[in-house]
Amino acid sequence: MLRCMPELAIDAEGLSRRYGRRWALIDVSLRVPAGSVVMIAGRNGSGKSTLLRVLATAIRPDLGRAKVAGFDLLSHRQDVRNATALLSHDSYLYEALTARENLEIVRRENVMSILQRVSLADRADDPVSTFSAGMRKRLSFARVLMQDPKVVFLDEPYGQLDPDGAAMVDEVVRDLKSRGVAVLMATHQLERVGRIADQSLTLEMGRVVRP
Amino acid sequence: MIAALRKEILIQWRTRGQVIAVFIFGATSLLLFSFGVGPNAEVLRQFSAGFLWLALLLSSTLTLAESFHAEMENRALEGLLLLPTDPRALYYGKAVANWLQLSILGTALIPVMVVLYDAGTERVLALIGIVVLGTAGLSAPGTLYAAMTAQVRSKQTLLPLLLFPLIVPALLSSVKATSLVILGDPMESLRSWILLLVAFDAIYWALCGLLYERVVED
C-alpha cells in the first residue's frame, strides 16, 4: 500500500554555525512539512535567530545540510531566497523612503492591499523615519507578505506590537498555513503561539533540547 | 535593476543635502589647490585638469561611502539580498546611481574650475563627455569597494586606500583627456586617451558586477 508522505518544506540535518570561536548552533536537525507552523522556543542567545537566519540564507552554516522548499541551502541559495521570506530583528527598511516605496522595492503590485492588511494604508506616503517601532514592525511584516513565499521565518513577530497588531500576526499566520505555507516562528510568547503551532522545538545553547 | 536604481535615486533625492555638501567640499578643494600654485595664471591653467580630477576623486570617496549608509541602517542590504533578485542587478542599480551623482558633481565643478583657473574651452560638450566617462571609471570599482568597507569601522580611511591604486589608469586617462580639451590637442591624441578610458570603464563595470555577490555575501 502506498503511503502519502507530506511534502517537506524544510529538511535539515546537523546544522551548526559559529561566530568566531563560539558555536551558536550545534547539530540541529528538523523536518517541517509544508503548511505547518513550528514554534521555536528558547532563552535569549539560545540560537533561535541564528537557526532562522541560516535557513533563510542570510548566513551560511559551518556544518550540516538542509533543503528549504526543495532547494539545497548551499548550492541553490537564490532558489531558496525566491521561495522564502524572513522577518528579522532588523527591519530591513529604508528610513528615507515612504512605506509604499519600501514595499515597491519588493514588488510593485498589490502594495496598497498589503498595507491595508497591516493597517498602514493611511500612512502609505509617510517616510519610515516618522514611524513608531510598532509601525515599523507592521511594515516589515508587510514586506514579508509582499514576497509571496512558500516558507516564512518569523523572528519575534509579536515584539513591539500592540494587541491589535499581535492579533493581525495570528490571523496572517493562520492564513499562510491554510495556503500551504510553512511558518517557523522564534518567540517567547509560548502560550499564544502554542495555540497556532503544529510542532515546537526548544533550543538551549545552540542545541535542540526538546524536539 | 530598474527597481534598484529607482530606490537609489529616491534615497539620493531625499538626502540631497549631502550632495550639496559634497559639491561644496569639491569646490573648496579646487580653491585650496589654487593656493598651492600661487597667482600664476598660466601654471594654474596648465594644472587645471589634474586639480579637477583630484577634487572629484576626493569628493567621490565621500559620495561612495555615503551611498552605503542607508544600506547599513536596519541592515537593509541583507534584506535586499534575501529578495528574489539577482545581486548583480542590485550592484548595477547602485553603481549607476553613483555614476549619475558623480557625473553631476563633476559637471557642476567645471564652471568652478573655469573661474578659478581661467581654464575655459569652447569644447564644453567634450569636457562633459570626459567627466561622464571618467566618473564611470570611479563609480564602478568605488561602489564595489564601498560595499566591501561599509561594515568596517575605519571605512573612511580604508575606502581610499583600496580604491585609489585601482583607478590610476582611469584617472590618468581622464586627466590627460581633460587636459587636451582645455589646453589644445596638437598631436591629436585625445581619441586614444578616450578609447583607453572606455576600455578601462568596460573592464571595471564587467568585473565589479561579477565580484559584488562574493563581496556582500556572508
What are the tens digits of pLDDT across the range A46-101? 999 999 999 999 999 999 999 999 999 999 999 999 999 999 999 999 999 999 99
Please say if the pLDDT value at position A40 is more than 50.
Answer: yes
The C-alpha cell 580639451 sits at: B181
A97 touches chain B (CB under 8 A): yes
Ranges of H-type helices in A56-200 = 77-83, 99-104, 111-117, 133-146, 163-178, 190-194
Distance of CA B55 to the CA centre of its chain: 10
Mean pLDDT value across residues A114-142: 95
Task: Measure in Å the smallest separation between the Cα of B69 and chain A Cα atoms.
Answer: 10
Q: How many CB atoms lie within 10 A of CB B118?
A: 12
Higher pLDDT, A107 or B1: A107
Q: What is the pLDDT of residues B40-56, one digit of tens each?
A: 888 999 999 999 999 99
Query: To probe the interface with A, which of B6, B14, B82 has the most A CB atoms within 10 Å?
Result: B82
Three cell numbers, residue A159:
515584539
**B3, B15, B74 member nearest A93 (Cβ):** B74
pLDDT digits (tens, 9 = 90+) for A17-33: 999 999 999 999 999 99
Q: Kindly report the nearest CA distance between residue B88 and chain A, in angstroms.
A: 12
Cβ distance of B83 and A81 shorter than 8 Å: yes
pLDDT value at B167 more than 50 = yes
In this complex, is the C-beta atom of A160 within 8 Å of any C-beta atom belonging to chain B? Answer: no
Share of chain A above pLDDT 90, in %: 88
pLDDT of amino acid A2:
46
Q: Kindly report the backbone phi and psi dihedral angles of residue B41, in degrees, each rounded to the nearest multiple of 5, phi listed first.
A: -60, -40
Cross-chain CB nearest to B11 (options A60, A94, A143): A94
Report d(CA B8, CA B66) in Å as an integer: 12
Q: Please report residues of B whose CB lies closer than 8 A to that of A57.
A: 82
**Cβ of A127 under 8 Å from any chain B Cβ?**
yes
Nearest to A10 by CA among A53, A65, A85, A68: A68
Our measurement of the distance from residue B71's CA atom to the centroid of its chain's CA atoms, rounded to an integer in Å, reads 19
Higher pLDDT, B154 or B101: B101
**Of A174 and B151, the one with more pLDDT:** A174
Task: Show residues of chain A in contact with B10, CB under 8 Å.
Answer: 96-97, 101
Confidence (pLDDT) at A211: 65
Interchain pair B75, A81: CB under 8 A: no
Superfamily of chain region A8-210: P-loop containing nucleotide triphosphate hydrolases (3.40.50.300)
Q: What is the mean pLDDT of residues B145-158?
A: 86
d(CA A117, CA A120): 8
Interface of B with A in 81-110 (CB under 8 A): 81-84, 86
A126 pLDDT band, cuts 50/70/90, is: very high
Instruction: Tell me the average pLDDT across B125-138.
Output: 95
pLDDT for residue A111 is more than 80: yes
Interface of A with B in 170-189 (CB under 8 A): none
| Mean pLDDT rounded to a whole number for chain A | 92
Nearest CB among A78, A84, A94 relative to B76 is that of A94
User: Is the CB of A82 inside 8 Å of chain B's CB atoms?
Assistant: yes
Q: pTM score, two decimals?
A: 0.88
Tell me the pLDDT band of A6, cut-offs 50, 70 and 90.
low
At residue B186, does pLDDT exceed 60? yes
Nearest of B104, B11, B116, B17 to residue B56 by alpha carbon: B104
* pLDDT score of A175 more than 80: yes
CB contact under 8 A, B76 and A92: yes
Mean pLDDT of chain B: 92
> Is pLDDT at A1 greater than 50 in this prediction?
no
Question: What are the extents of the domains in chain A?
Answer: 8-210
Which ipTM was obtained for this model?
0.89
Question: Of B141, B146, B148, nearest to B215 (Cα)?
Answer: B148
Are residues A147 and B84, on separate chains, in Cβ contact within 8 Å? yes
